[in-house]
Amino acid sequence: MNKMKVYIGYSLASISNDYVKEVEDFQESLSRDPRLEVFTSKKQEHQHAPNVMYCDVMIAVCSEQDTELGIEIGYMLSRRRPLFMVSREEAEVTKLERSLKVLKSPRHDCIAFKSYSGLSLLDTLPEVMKFLEEKCMSGIGHALRAIDEQRREA
Fold of 4-153: Rossmann fold (3.40.50)
DSSP calls for the chain: -PPEEEEEEE--SS--HHHHHHHHHHHHHHHTSTTEEEEE--SSTT-HHHHHHT-SEEEEE-SS--HHHHHHHHHHHHTT--EEEEEETTSGGGGHHHHHHHH-BTTB--EEEEEE-SS-GGGGHHHHHHHIIIIISSHHHHHHHHHHHHHHH-
CB 82 within 8 A of CB 104: no
The whole-number pLDDT of residue 28 equals: 92
Question: What pLDDT is attached to residue 47?
Answer: 54
Q: Which of 5, 14, 6 is nearest to 93 (CA)?
A: 14
Torsion of CA 55, 137, 121, 71, to 10 degrees: 30
- Banded model confidence at residue 7, pLDDT cuts 50, 70, 90: very high
Domain residues of the chain, as ranges? 4-153
β-bridge pairing 4-10 and 57-61: parallel
Is the entire prediction scored with pTM above 0.85?
no
pLDDT in tens, 94-153: 455 556 555 555 556 677 778 777 667 888 888 888 888 887 776 545 555 555 565 556
Instruction: Quote the CA–CA distance of 125 and 32 in Å, as a whole number.
Output: 12
